[in-house]
Structure 1
C-alpha cells in the first residue's frame, strides 16, 4: 500500500483542476434527475428552504433555486464556492464557505440534501458530528436525502481496483483505487493533467454499512427511512452502485 494520506485530505483536495474535471464530468441530466428525486421523495412544497451540504460548485443548489426554492449551500472549497457564486447571480441562494459540520442548527430547513458521495469523507467521529448537525438543521417533519456510493453493501461485493483513464475535453485523469481492510476505507488516487499542468491527489472514502448510517441518523431525530438504488426509485440491494437514503425528522 502506498503512503496513507491525511484524514483531512478534503481540505486541500478540491482546487480548480479537480473541481473543473467534475464540473465537466457530470452530465446536466444527472443533476435534474437527482433533484427530481429529492422533490418527489421528500414532497417538497414550492419555496421550500433547502440546505445543500456539501454543495461543491453548486450544481444541485442552482437547480433547486431555478425551481423556486430558497437555498443555502455550504462547502469547504473556496474555489468551488467562488464558482457557484458566479453562476448564482439572480437566484435565491446563500453560499457559505464552511466545514460540512458547521451548518446552521436552528431547525429552520424544510430539507437537507447531501448528494455526490461526500457522506463518506469523514471518519466515524466526524460523521457522528455531521449527523448531529443534520438533526439540528432540519425542522420537525422536514426531509433528508443522502447519496452514498461507499456503503459496504455497494462496494464490497466483487470489489475491483482496476485503473481507469477518464477524459473531459483537455483534462485527463488516471484513477486507481485500493481498499484498506484495517481501516474500512478506500484510497482513490488521481493524476489530473491539463496541458503542462498536473496534480496528483488522493481521496479517502470511509466505508459504512447501511445499518451504521441509519443508526447514526435515527439517533439524531430521523425516521421513516427508505433505501433506493437510483433516482428512478429502484430498491437498494447488495451490489447497487449507489445508495440514495431518504428520511424525515420526527415531528
Structure 2
C-alpha cells in the first residue's frame, strides 16, 4: 500500500467531494479562533500583506481580508481556488487567489506574514519541505511573522497509535470512512479515505511525512527564522506529548 502512494499525491487529491466535506466540517468559529491566533501571536499590524499557502478553499484568506489585510492565497487545487473566488465575492472582499504548487510563491520579501494552515506542512518529504520553508523565508520581509499548523508531528501521531483503526464521519449528506497506517521505514502517515455522497464515491489516500518538533524547529532556524514558539491549539495551550495539533510561530530573521 505505501509503495503505491505517489509523492505528489496532493496534486490530484483535492477534488470537489473531499474539498466540500472539509468545507462543511469546519465551523466558522474555528476559523475565527485560528485567525485570532494568527493576528495575536505574530502581532499582525493593521493592513498587513499576508500570504496564505496553501490556502485551500480560502477560509483563512477571506477572514483575514475581512479584517482589513491584503491577502494572497495560493493552492494547487483548481476546484478549491474556484470556490474561494466565489466565496470572496459573496463576502465582498478583494483577495488575490492563485493556482500554483505551494513552493511556487513570490521570493520578493513583500509579505509581512505567511500562514500555512490545515496540516499541509507534512505533504512534502524532507528535501521538499526544506525547499518550501526556504521559499517562505524569501517571501517574508525581515521581521515578518510565520504561523504553521501541523497535526502530523511525531509527538502527536505516535503515542497510542493503532494501524487501520476505523474512523467514520458524516457531515450532511457526505459520509467518510477512514483509517490510518504508519510507514515505519519512511516515517509517513497514510490516511485512507472513502468519501460518499449518494451514488458518488471517491477513494483516495493522503500521505503526511511525520516530523518531530525538534526537527521542525531546526528546519525553521536553518532557513532564517527565529523566536520560534510552539502551542497545542489556537487558545495558546501548551504542546505536550499526545497533543493532537501543533501550532508553530516564528519570525523572519
How far apart are the structure 1 equivalents of 2:149 and 2:242?
15
Q: How many pairs were matched up? A: 250
Please list the CA deviations of residues 96-132 of structure 1 after superposition, one character each: whole Å capped at 9, or x if unmatched. 0000000111011110010110000011111011011
Structure 1 residue 2 displacement after superposition: 6.3
For the residue of structure 1 that corresponds to 2:243, the secondary structure is: coil
How far apart are the structure 2 equivalents of 1:180 and 1:248?
33
For the residue of structure 2 that corresponds to 1:157, the secondary structure is: coil
1:215 partnered with 2:218:
yes
For the residue of structure 2 that corresponds to 1:119, the secondary structure is: helix
TM-score scaled by length of structure 2: 0.97
- Counterpart position of 1:144: 146
1:133 to 110, 131, 135: 135
Q: Give yes or no for contact 2:122–2:208 (8 Å, CA) kept in 1.
A: yes
Moved more, 212-221 or 59-68: 212-221
1:116 partnered with 2:118:
yes
Query: Where do 5+ consecutive residues of structure 1 fail to align?
Result: none
**What's the C-alpha RMSD, in Å, of the aligned pairs?**
1.0
Q: Give yes or no for contact 1:69–1:92 (8 Å, CA) kept in 2.
A: no
For the residue of structure 2 that corresponds to 1:182, the secondary structure is: coil
- Counterpart position of 1:25: 25
Structure 1 residue 3 displacement after superposition: 5.5
Structure 1 residue 237 displacement after superposition: 1.1
TM-score scaled by length of structure 1: 0.97
How far apart are the structure 1 equivalents of 2:216 and 2:135?
14
How far apart are the structure 1 equivalents of 2:110 and 2:221?
19
For residues 1-251 of structure 1, what are the structure 2 equivalents within 5 Å? 1=1, 4-89=4-89, 90-161=92-163, 162-250=165-253
Pair 1:65–1:21, CA change in 2 (3 A) = same
Q: Give yes or no for contact 2:2–2:190 (8 Å, CA) kept in 1.
A: no
